[in-house]
């Protein structure tokens, strides 16, 4: 009988602690998301590539970032995906710019946000 009086309160107290530990903990929300990491990487990639970007607009509902690139006297509209690596996208952008300079073409828009990236040229 003495053992019963010791075990029952011990089991009850242990059950209360388990309940409090697992079910009563408040969920913690962090203001830092994976998107914040993308934007810091994008900023770093733009600065590293020494490109002149302006008017950066974030379209979270489309998972894309829109900005203008100043290339000489030409302003090129650029679309990047927030789901792709910004360093890869900057590298692709530099390749497109290099190819356009070699072919002596002026770019109007470069869209790297879709599954099939494309570029459009200005009518000369």
Assess if residue 39 is contained within a domain. yes
Domain residues for the domain of 107 are 34-121
Residue 64 belongs to some domain of the structure: yes
As a whole number, mean pLDDT of residues 66-93 equals: 89
* Residue 9 within any structural domain of the chain: no
Q: What's the whole-number mean pLDDT along residues 62-70?
A: 88
Q: Count of domains in the chain?
A: 1
Q: Is 117 contained in some domain?
A: yes
Domain membership flag for residue 13: no
5 in any annotated domain:
no
Read off φ and ψ for residue 30, nearest 5 degrees.
-105, 135
State the pLDDT at residue 15: 83
Model pLDDT, residue 4: 72
DSSP assigned state of 1: -
């Amino acid at each position: 009988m003495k053992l019963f009086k010791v075990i029952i309160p011990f089991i009850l107290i242990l059950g209360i602690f388990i309940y409090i530990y697992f079910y009563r903990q408040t969920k913690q929300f962090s203001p830092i998301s994976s998107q914040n990491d993308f934007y810091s990487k994008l900023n770093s990639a733009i600065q590293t590539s020494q490109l002149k970007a302006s008017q950066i607009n974030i379209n979270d509902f489309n998972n894309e970032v829109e900005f203008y690139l100043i290339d000489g006297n030409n302003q090129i509209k650029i679309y990047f995906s927030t789901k792709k690596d910004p360093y890869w996208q900057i590298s692709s952008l530099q390749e497109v710019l290099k190819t356009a300079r070699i072919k002596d073409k002026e770019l109007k828009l470069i869209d790297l946000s879709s599954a099939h990236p494309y570029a459009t040229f200005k009518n000369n």
